[in-house]
Amino acid sequence: MKQIVADAAIKEVEDGMILGLGSGSTAALMIKSLAEQIRSGKLKNIKGVPTSFQSEVLALELNIPLIDLASVPYIDLAIDGADEVDPDFQLIKGGGACHVREKLVASKANKLLIVIDESKLVQNLNQVFPLPVEVMPSAWKQVKDIISEMSGVSNLRMATKKAGPVVTDQGNLILDVLFDAGIKDPKDLEMRINNIPGVLENGLFVDLVDKVLVGRIEDDVPVLFSPSRKS
């Protein structure tokens, strides 16, 4: 299911493009499909801008030419996954703790294409998946207390194969936040959280998405569809 979505995303790529290379399992399949197209000569003069150390390592292993985000005035197309997508194409990202670089790449892209499986489609953000908030290590408790006053329950994300918390590519910590009844106004909440001292960025991606490709299973067969934006 994820593979057909990843392969479909590559059909949006044209010769000479600067591509934002997303993070996560579906994005990794997309990067592998991209590498095969480059290797076979079907795509030429492609340069990638990685959104994480994970996608950078994978692209280098597959010999995809990379360029630094600071070196490009724009990105033609960014292809990335998401943890939740609502009917207005607002997103929660950051399950892999890469949302800061992902948002930098997305905001610089002329087009943002999101590739997901059907389980990521939701009617209302944050009822199930927590909102990641990246914070300075010295500020996590202060930020947690302020978010609590906003009716948000925060948990410091802990690592699974090391002692202590998850540390991002930027050297920060992650608070995973659930709000009462989810997030009703993503645009307002994105700004409010980012205005808290000590917060670097949060995982709400608002008004950035141009197209969503979704994979699902029908009669035991993986199929692809592209939903329309609600508004």
Active site residues: 102
Assign 3-class secondary structure to the chain: CHHHHHHHHHCCCCCCCEEEECCCHHHHHHHHHHHHHHHHCCCCCCEEEECCHHHHHHHHHCCCCECCHHHCCCECEEEECCCEECCCCCEECCCCCCHHHHHHHHHHECCEEEEEEHHHECCCCCCCCCEEEEECHHHHHHHHHHHHHCCEEEEECECCCCCCECCCCCCCEEEEEEECCCCCCHHHHHHHHHCCCCEEEECEECCCCCEEEEEEEECCEEEEECCCCCC
